[in-house]
Structure 1
Amino acid sequence: MASLSDVSWRHGLAHVSTLDRAGVGAHRVARLCAAGALLRVRAGIYALPDADPAVVRAARVGGRLAGRSAARALGLWAAPEDELVVEVARHGTQLRNPDDFRTPLGPSPGQVRVRWTAERLPRRESFGVAPLPTVLSQVLTTEPAEHAIATIDSVFRLDSAFDLDGFARSLPARHRALCDLVDPRSESGSESIVRVLLVRSGIAVSVQPPLGRGRRSDLLVGDRLLLECDSRTHHEAGDRVCDLRRDADNAALGFVTLRFDYSQILFDPDSVVAAVRRYIDLGLHRWRH
C-alpha cells in the first residue's frame, strides 16, 4: 500500500491528483482525514498535520504565500505580521476565508491581502510559498525600503552564495538601485533597518566594525559612535546584562554607545535617526584630540 511519504508534497500540501498518482486514492484520503492524518484545506487540496499554518491558510484562500508572509515562511527576516499576503493565479476563483474554507472571502478580506499574478501558474505551483526571487521582488515593491533591504540582507544568513547581482538584473531600474543598499554582513533585521535609515538620511555608517579583542559592534558612525540594534528576540535578562557590561567596557575605551530597542526601530524610526544626528551635531561621533 502506498505511503504518504511517497507523495510529492509542496510545503506540506498536495493536490488530490498528486495523491492519486502516488497511490493514495479517494477512499484512503477520506479515511486519513477522518483519522487526523490528513487535513482537507479546500476542494482538491490536502495538507499534512504539521504543515505551516500560514501556508495552509493561504491555500484555503485559494493561493500561495507571497510578500512578507512568504519571506517569514522561508526563514527570512520580515516585519511583524499584521495580515496574510496571498498570491492568487489570475485564473483563480472562489476565494475562501483563511480560517474556514466553507466561507467565501467576500469583498472585504480584512486581514488578507490578495495579490493577483499576471501569469498562469501550474496547479502545483499555485499553492505553497512563492519562489524566493518572486518573494524578494514583491517585498521590494510593497514594503518600506529599509524593511525590504532587511529581508534581502537576511537571505545571506541562510545562503551566503546568493546571487544578488543576478537578482538585481531581473528588476526594474527603480528597484535595482535599492539593491546597492544590501549588505551581507548585517546580522539582524533591526541592524539592517537602522543602517538603511541612516544611509538614506546622508549619514555614513560602518557595518560590524571590529573593536579589538575579537569584539564588534553592530554599526559605527564616524570613528567613535557605536550603534547597537536589539533584535526581536533580544529581550532575555541574561542578554541585557551582557549588553550593559559590553557598553560599559566600550565606554572605558572612550566609545559612545547608542542602543536602540527593536520596537523603537520598527515603530519610531524617526527618533532613531534624530538621536544619531543629534550626537553628530554635538561632535560625539569623533575622537577629541
Structure 2
Amino acid sequence: MQLLEWIDDQGGVVRSRSVTEAGFTDHSVRKALASRAVIRPRAGWLALPSADPLLVAAARAGVVLTCITQAKRLGLWVLASVVGHHVGAPRHSGGVTADRAHVHWGKPLLARHPHALVDPVENVLGFVASCQPFEAALATWESAVRLGLVDLRTMKRLPLVGPARELVKVTTAFSDSGLETFVLVRLAWLRLAIVPQAWLAGHRVDFLIGERLVLQIDGAHHVGRQRAEDIAHDAELMTLGYFVIRVGYLQVIDRWPEVQHRVMLAVAQGLHLARP
C-alpha cells in the first residue's frame, strides 16, 4: 500500500510516528511533503490536503473533537441553533491553541488514546450533558441510543457526574427524533397516558395522548409526498374519532407555549377521551 493511500485509509490525518511504525521510510515522507501531497498541520502530525478540515484543525490545535461538534459528525440530533466548535483537552495540557473553540477541560469518561482526534461517543455524551440544556442534551442522548451507538446499561455503569447521572435515568429509545424528546419531557406534567410512536390506522403517530388525542411533530422531511401522505392520514384518523394536532420544528423549539396551549385546550374539552 502506498503512503498516501495508507494515510487516507487511516482517516486522512495521522501521527508521524504511526507512519514510521507502519513501515514507511523517512524518505517517502519527505518526498510527499516536498510535493505537497502531504502537509504537516503540527509537529508530529501528517495529513492529506483533502482531509476533513476539522480533523486537521484538531491536530493543529492539540485537541480532540467532542461534545456537540462530534455529535453532529456522528449524525446525532443537535439543536439547529447551536453554533461553534467544541473540543476537548486534558487539564494543564500545553500547546492547546483552539482560541476560537469552546474547550472542555474536564476528565473524559473513557481514557483517550494519544493518537485520537475525536472522542468516543460515551465521552461526547458526557460533555453534552454538562454543556447543553437538559432537554437538548436528552435529545442528543436519545438519538445516540436510537442509532445504536451506545448501550444504556453500559452508560449506567460509567462514572457519570452532574447532569449525566440524571440523563441516564430518563433516556429511552422511544422518541423517533429530538423534537419528540422535547415534547415528551414538556408534557409529562399533564399526568396523562402519553404513548410515543403509537400505531394507528396503519401508520405510526408521534404521540397518542390519552385515548384519542394525536400530536404529530413535523420535521424537515415533512414535505412533498410525505406531507401529502401525512395530511391523508390525519383525515383518516379524524374520521375514526381521533383529534389531531400537528406542529413543526419552530413551534416546538421557539414557540412552545402555543403548542402547550393547544394541547391543554384539547384536553380541557375532553378530546383525549374516547367517545361512547
Whether TM-score is above 0.5 comes out as yes
Aligned partner (choices 187, 209, 213) of residue 225 of structure 1: 213
> Could you tell me how far 1:51 is from its partner in structure 2?
3.8
Deviation at 1:209, TM superposition (A): 0.8
Instruction: Quote the Cα distance in structure 2 between the aligned partners of 1:201 and 1:96.
Output: 48
Percent identity, aligned pairs only, is 33
Match 2:115 to one of 99, 121, 124:
124
Asked if the contact 1:224–1:284 (Cα under 8 Å) also holds between the matched residues in 2, the reply is yes
Contact 1:2–1:23, Cα closer than 8 Å, also in 2: no
Contact 1:68 1:79 in 2 (8 A): no
Structure 2 counterpart of 1:250, from 237, 250, 272 = 237
User: If the length of structure 2 is used for normalisation, what is the TM-score?
Assistant: 0.83
- What is the Cα deviation at residue 201 of structure 1? 6.4
- Aligned-partner SS, 1:219: strand
Partner of 2:183 in structure 1?
194
Q: How does 1:156-167 map to 2 (within 5 A)?
A: 156-159=145-148, 162-167=150-155
Q: Which runs of 5+ in 1 are unaligned?
A: 98-104
User: Greater CA deviation, 169-178 or 83-92?
Assistant: 169-178
**2:102 aligned residue (110, 113, 117):** 113
- CA shift digits 1:204-260 (9 cap, x unpaired): 4211111133x11011111111111122x3153222222222212212212111222
Give the paired residue count.
272
Matches of 1:54 and 1:269, distance apart in 2: 34
Out of 271, 274, 285, the residue aligned to residue 261 of structure 2 is: 274
Match of residue 204, structure 2, among 216, 223, 240: 216
Q: How far 1:163 moved relative to its partner?
A: 2.5
Q: CA RMSD in A?
A: 2.9
Cα distance in 1 for partners of 2:77, 2:95 equals 32
- Which runs of at least 4 in structure 1 moved beyond 6 Å after TM superposition? none
Q: Among 239, 262, 268, which residue is 2:249 paired with?
A: 262
Q: Which moved more, 1:193-202 or 1:130-139?
A: 193-202
Decide whether the 8 Å contact of 2:58 with 2:64 is kept in 1: yes
TM-score normalised to the size of structure 1?
0.80
Of 163, 184, 188, which aligns to 2:173? 184
Cα distance, 1:18 vs structure 2: 1.3
Verify the 8 A CA contact 2:7 2:48 in the aligned structure 1.
no
Contact 2:180–2:217, Cα closer than 8 Å, also in 1: yes
Retained in 2: the 8 A contact 1:65–1:85?
Answer: yes
How far apart in 1 are the matches of 2:119 and 2:183?
Answer: 28
The 3-state SS of whatever aligns with 1:96 is coil
CA distance in 2: counterparts of 1:10 and 1:268, whole angstroms = 45
